[in-house]
Amino acid sequence: MDIRREIIGIFKKWKESSDRKPLLLKGARQIGKTWAMEKFGHECFEYVVKFDFDRQPELKSIFKITKEPIRIIRELALYCDSPIIAGKTLIIFDEIQECEEALNSLKYFCEDAPQFHVMAAGSLLGVAVKKKRMTLPVGKVQVVRMFPITFKEFLYAADFSTYSYIESLNEISRLPEIILNKINSEYRRYQICGGMPESTVALLENKGMAEVERKLQDILDLYELDFAKYADPKEIPRISAIWHSLPAQLAKEHRKFVYKIVKSGARSKDYEDALMWLEDAGMIYRIYDISKPGMPLSAYQEYDAFKIYACDCGLLRRLASLPPEVILNPVSNYTEFKGSLAENTVLQNIKPLMDSDNIYYWTSDGRAEIEFVLQWKINIIPVEVKAENNIGGNSLSVYNHKYEPKYRVRFSLRNLQYNGGLLSAPSPMSAWFDMLYDLLTATSTTGNQLVPR
């Protein structure tokens, strides 16, 4: 089963761009970067040629003897069966972190051979670049970030008719109960398998929960091996300790990162490099506190107060050893972590929609906390996340009273509605946050009338 990935739409726009540069694809391990590039190539080009610098180390010599793109193309043509023709062939450089000269060659493809379509990706590219002190061709490549499968992409494969219904919404009004029940049910399945392609496909092809668990554990084991392969030896135990502390960090009532949970007596200066390694690897997202929701949010960032989330809710669930059955049928003692998983899943769905990292959180003297504060276009939007149907708590009211935002958003498993600046939406619809924003801004000026999309 192939999962339709929306990033291919970004690739198509890149292909047709008049000022196209080589594309450098970044993202966590095992999210399907190579598959997406090859899928795009087969859909949009007559020919696709892929050069893997890990499996074909002999390719490195080509880039060491010349920087001239046409000569590089002639040499590479000896290693592939398909022709390399400008405009008709997609050239893929995979595991490019294994060859610094190939990475640097992207600059010369941009300057001297823009007629060729060149894409590149690599495992833990950000980590490898820093470790090897490699130089990125800044300004000469288009960097694109790829993320795990979103719930929107999951629903497209799992229940296309329900997906189509959500896609067709042109007003904020209650969803039919059958639609609400379907998206909430599929959302729980999504929280079990997460957005890693192998575990997602295993679930959608009904291979059983044991196979889903095995796929997720294989990825976790691979990540552990990556610590040893790409990290400095002294950082390996710290990186591993932070990674394994994620469930405990998120299970707290207030989820600010606490170093002593990683290790008793731990200090920030000892673990900052390990945190940055996990960020560069795309394995965690770090969300900072803000002193106030001013524009731009980055001006009010509190550098010593932050939360960390996993890149994928399925990996987080498996890392926490939370059985799938608990997601489908919550038990009485599944409380704090239920909220953690809810937050992580919403964040995982919103991040691919953002054109920057303008996601923060807000606290008020320990009395209130807004899970996410987004700088979305010209608006700053507080986003509250509730795990189920219980929408108790006064945090959003405290924030609203203090700052009077134009829009507020609350995600839970309740139905869709808008009232006095507050948009209440089912958590699965966090994957449609861009659509919700457009409907929200239109609704606030039209009185909830139909608005064209």
Q: In whole angstroms, give the CA distance from residue 375 to residue 354.
A: 9
Phi, psi of 316 (to 5 degrees): -60, -45
What's residue 333's pLDDT? 73
Kindly tell me the burial class for residue 113, based on how many C-beta atoms sit within 10 Å of its own C-beta (0-12, 13-18, 19 or more): middle
What's residue 42's pLDDT? 97
pLDDT digits (tens, 9 = 90+) for 187-240: 999 999 999 999 999 999 999 999 999 999 999 999 999 998 889 999 999 999
| Other CB atoms within 10 Å distance of the CB of residue 19 | 7
Sign of CA dihedral 430, 432, 438, 442: negative
HSE value, Cβ hemisphere, 13 Å, CA-based, for 150: 24
DSSP secondary structure string for all residues of 82-131: S---TTTEEEEEESGGG-HHHHHHHHHHHHH-TTSEEEEE-TTHHHHHHH
User: Which mean pLDDT values do the consecutive 10-residue runs of the chain (453 residues) have?
Assistant: 95 96 96 97 98 96 96 96 97 95 96 97 84 81 96 98 97 96 97 98 97 98 92 94 94 85 89 94 96 96 95 97 91 80 97 91 89 94 91 88 95 94 96 95 61 36
Q: Which of 390, 350, 352, 392 has its CA nearest to residue 373?
A: 350
Q: Which of 388, 372, 376, 379 has its CA nearest to residue 406?
A: 379
What's residue 444's pLDDT? 66
- In sequence order, the 6+-apart residues with CB closer than 8 A to the CB of 379 are 405, 406, 407, 441
**What residue segments make up the domains of the chain, in order of their start?**
7-145, 151-446
What's residue 393's pLDDT? 79
Q: Which amino acid is at 199?
A: S
Output the six-digit token pair for 358.
């303008």
**DSSP symbol at 67:** -
Taking CA atoms, 162 is separated from 203, 346, 428, 453, in Å, by 18, 19, 12, 18
Q: Which amino acid is at 150?
A: T
Reported in sequence order, the residue ranges of 365-448 that DSSP labels E, i.e. its strands, are 368-376, 379-385, 408-412, 417-419, 422-426
Q: Which of 46, 119, 44, 50 has its CA nearest to residue 89?
A: 46
Fold for domain 7-145?
A: Rossmann fold (3.40.50)
Kindly tell me the burial class for residue 66, based on how many C-beta atoms sit within 10 Å of its own C-beta (0-12, 13-18, 19 or more): middle
What's residue 451's pLDDT? 38
